């Protein structure tokens, strides 16, 4: 438990630093770029975020889990895992470039902004190929978290120097891409100092892709209602509407992202304990449930009550339409907390990938189906309603699976663990 607390504290320190400093750029960019210009930047960043999910191929979960399971075994086995993941990511990179080239030509809104989307592509590649999963699986998080946070801080500071008007929106993505590339290089060198460099074969790369396909489906589908919302909205509404929605979403996601360090800390530990000490895994899961759901409820209540103040403070004049959007999105923190605990922290370590993935795929389809209906009716607020509906669908479905498997919600009793 001491190691768990230390890792969580390390990740929280780095994450808060990497979150707060870029968040300080939101008031600046919202004012300097104005709703239309900032809406295009958010449109490109949403594209980059979803592309990053594809390039990661879920290895932030499956790669972390694989390393956590073999880290105490022979070095040759660990080297084989790393080679398989690296080779698989290069295959994904090759295939996605062809698909994305066609997609770019098919989206009329992107064509006048070639520089913006070229830098968005570079940023996605640098983030998507990051080997941070290796360090999380080893539970050696300090250095990796510091490098990742440092890259975000440098990019944010550069915004205040080089972004001066609506025509400079591409520089936001350029700064993020260059700093992410530096972090990628640094972490890759550090990884290969601790594990022998081994050239992956096509066979083991393909086998790694096949083994991780389930989690890849989960990550990609979840991106349809987590990361791609501004991109979807940009296809259906004006850049200003994207700015209103994206501004509100940035505010609420800043709160939700505080879950990330705890989730990343819990996952390798639960993956290890589920196989070696189920009662201890249940205790850790109970701790995570109390902390994350309690914090999520508090976050949502504050965001709903303080929405007008937060919009005025962080976005400035001209963004009044973001207030009702933020109030709708304030439902997300407690709902996502439930989904994270019973999905990533319980279903995946317990080997229940299939029902989890089916739920996420259905939620992604639900979000895509609702958007063309609700956006023409209610604009940015409609997009917010579609996102909330998708997250509620996932959380409710996971609770149903937990109960069907014989789990008890309170006091928490995990299926397959004998009462003590």
Q: What is the pLDDT of residues 60-85, one digit of tens each?
A: 878 887 888 777 777 888 888 899 99
307-317 residue pLDDT tens: 999 999 989 88
Q: Would you say residue 271 has pLDDT above 80?
A: no
Distance of CA 47 to the CA centre of its chain: 13
Q: Which residues of 304-335 are buried (b: 16+ CB within 10 A; e: fewer)?
A: eeebeebbeebbbeebebbbbbbbbbbbbbbb
Q: How confident is the model at residue 335 (pLDDT cuts 50, 70, 90)?
A: very high
Q: What is the distance between the alpha carbons of residues 19 and 84, in angstroms, rounded to a whole number?
A: 32
The answer to whether the CB of 39 falls within 8 A of the CB of 234 is yes
- Whether residue 4 is predicted with pLDDT greater than 60 in this model: the reply is no
More confident residue, 47 or 326: 326
Which pLDDT band, with edges at 50, 70 and 90, does 328 fall under? very high
Which residues on neighbouring strands pair with residue 413, listed in sequence order? 408
Q: What is the DSSP string of 361-413?
A: HHHHHHHHHHHHHHHHHHTHHHHHHHHHHHHHHHHHHHHHHHHHTT-BTTTTB
Mean pLDDT of the chain: 85
User: Given this model, what pLDDT does residue 103 score?
Assistant: 64
Q: Which residues pair with 408 in a beta bridge?
A: 413
Residue 11 has pLDDT above 60, yes or no: no
**Closest by Cα among 414, 420, 139, 140 to 287:** 414
Residue 66, pLDDT score: 83
Mean pLDDT, residues 16-37 taken together: 77
Residue 330 has, within 13 A of its CA and on its CB side, a CA count of 20
Pick from 78-82, 169-173, 253-257, 314-318 the range whose average pLDDT is largest. 169-173
Predicted confidence (pLDDT) at residue 275 exceeds the cutoff of 80: no
Global pTM reads: 0.73
């Amino acid at each position: 438990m001491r190691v768990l607390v230390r890792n969580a504290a390390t990740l929280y320190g780095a994450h808060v630093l990497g979150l707060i400093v870029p968040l300080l750029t939101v008031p600046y960019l919202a004012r300097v770029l104005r709703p239309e210009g900032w809406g295009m930047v958010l449109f490109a960043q949403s594209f980059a975020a979803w592309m990053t999910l594809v390039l990661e191929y879920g290895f932030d979960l499956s790669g972390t889990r694989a390393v956590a399971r073999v880290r105490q075994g022979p070095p040759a086995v660990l080297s084989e895992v790393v080679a398989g993941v690296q080779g698989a990511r290069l295959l994904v990179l090759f295939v996605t470039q062809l698909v994305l080239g066609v997609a770019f030509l098919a989206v009329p809104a992107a064509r006048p902004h070639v520089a913006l989307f070229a830098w968005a592509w570079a940023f996605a590649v640098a983030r998507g190929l990051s080997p941070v999963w290796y360090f999380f699986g080893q539970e050696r998080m300090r250095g990796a978290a510091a490098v990742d946070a440092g890259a975000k801080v440098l990019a944010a500071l550069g915004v205040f120097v080089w972004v001066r008007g609506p025509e400079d929106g591409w520089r936001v993505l350029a700064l993020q891409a260059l700093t992410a590339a530096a972090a990628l290089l640094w972490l890759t060198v550090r990884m290969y100092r601790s594990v022998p460099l081994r050239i992956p074969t096509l066979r083991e790369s393909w086998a790694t892709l096949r083994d991780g396909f389930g989690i890849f489906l989960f990550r990609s589908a979840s991106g349809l209602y987590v990361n791609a919302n501004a991109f979807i909205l940009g296809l259906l509404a004006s850049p200003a509407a994207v700015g209103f929605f994206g501004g509100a979403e940035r505010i609420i996601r800043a709160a939700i992202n505080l879950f990330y360090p705890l989730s990343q800390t819990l996952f390798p530990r639960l993956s290890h304990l589920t196989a070696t000490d189920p009662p201890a895994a249940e205790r850790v899961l109970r701790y995570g449930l109390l902390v994350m759901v309690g914090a999520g409820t508090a976050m949502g209540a504050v965001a709903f009550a303080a929405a007008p103040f937060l919009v005025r403070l962080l976005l400035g004049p001209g963004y009044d339409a973001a207030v009702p959007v933020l109030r709708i999105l304030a439902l997300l923190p407690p709902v996502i907390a439930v989904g994270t605990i019973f999905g990533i922290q319980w279903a995946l370590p317990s080997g229940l990938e299939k029902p989890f993935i089916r739920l996420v795929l259905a939620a992604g389809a639900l979000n895509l189906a609702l958007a063309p209906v609700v956006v023409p009716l209610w604009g940015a607020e409609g997009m917010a309603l579609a996102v909330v509906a998708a997250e509620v669908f996932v959380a409710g479905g996971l609770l149903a699976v937990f109960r069907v498997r014989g789990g008890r919600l309170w006091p928490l009793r995990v299926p397959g663990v004998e009462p003590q």
